[in-house]
Amino acid sequence: MSYSRWQGKSQDPEQLHPDDPYLSSKAVTKEDVITLKDDWLTDNVIAFWEEYLEREYLANYHFSNIVLLRPSMSFMLIQTPNPETLREALPNFAKTTHIFLPINDCRNPSVAEGGSHWSLVLVSIADGVAFHYDSLNPANRDEAVTTTKKLGTLLGRDFQFLDLPDSPQQENSSDCGVFVCVQMKHLLLKKLMRADKEQKVSMSMGGKHIDASHGRKAMLEVIDGFRKVGESRRSSVLRITVTSHEVLTGANALKEILEPAKVRFQKPTPSRLTIDLPGSDCPSPIPVSIV
């Protein structure tokens, strides 16, 4: 018996509809990717970046209690009059030490992808401080203060709010989301995850230069990497070949065994039997040939 994998034709991303998923397992569409190239970042892109940081970095630090709150959750927090009503929808913060919150200046909850500016709040629950990083300082200060107060109400804490005027500043009107993502990664990897429990770490981004073009390119490369892996899994086919002089007898035996599992058979010939076998890595059916 021999096993082999071969790659079918991959789907051309240029043929995707703007709302089609760009990745197999992540909610990033072609339209999201287009905005990442040279426009204002969508919620989906920032949420994807947070999931990427969680899976690729935070997952390796089993004792870390850091939460990367999704943009939709941060927006709900600022829009909801009583944050207590969100307790069931939000993560359990009982053991959390730090929370990252992307802040959007949208005032109308009925407008999808509303707002015109992103900034970042990092709350250190252990220290009782909320740090605000705004690349168009002080554009999002009011939204950041409100979000911090709402979170404090939810957690039963009063947080000191620190607006950091030395945060890196963008040079145009569209790079704010990229600044949020780059700063989030830097603060997470270069500050929090390098610090000892007893060590005091400066959370200032003063003097840190952010190359937005490089940031966009790096994020696109990560997304494209996931896309290629997803395409590989979707187009991969497992072919099993068995040499036998009694194919028809073998076909009947296989049919009796596999039919309960909803495996579909094509009509066998004296030299070949083909069945459709569902698999976990790619959509069913998977052709399996026995010759």
Active site residue 117: yes
Q: Do residues 103 and 167 make contact, with C-beta atoms less than 8 angstroms apart?
A: no
- Crossing angle of the two packed helices 176-186 and 212-235, in degrees rounded to 10: 80
| Structure tokens given for 168 | 């890196």
CA nearest to 235, candidates 289, 288, 286: 286
* Catalytically annotated residue among 98, 105, 132, 176: 176
Q: Do residues 242 and 291 make contact, with C-beta atoms less than 8 angstroms apart?
A: yes
* Catalytically annotated residue among 98, 105, 117, 282: 117
| Structure tokens given for 174 | 């569209």
Active site residue 134: yes
* Catalytically annotated residue among 32, 105, 134, 175: 134
Alpha helical stretches, state H, the chain: 30-38, 43-56, 71-79, 141-155, 176-186, 212-235, 247-258
φ, ψ at 28 (rounded to 5°): -120, 120
11/198 Cα distance (integer angstroms): 51
Active site residue 132: no
The catalytic residue positions are 117, 134, 176
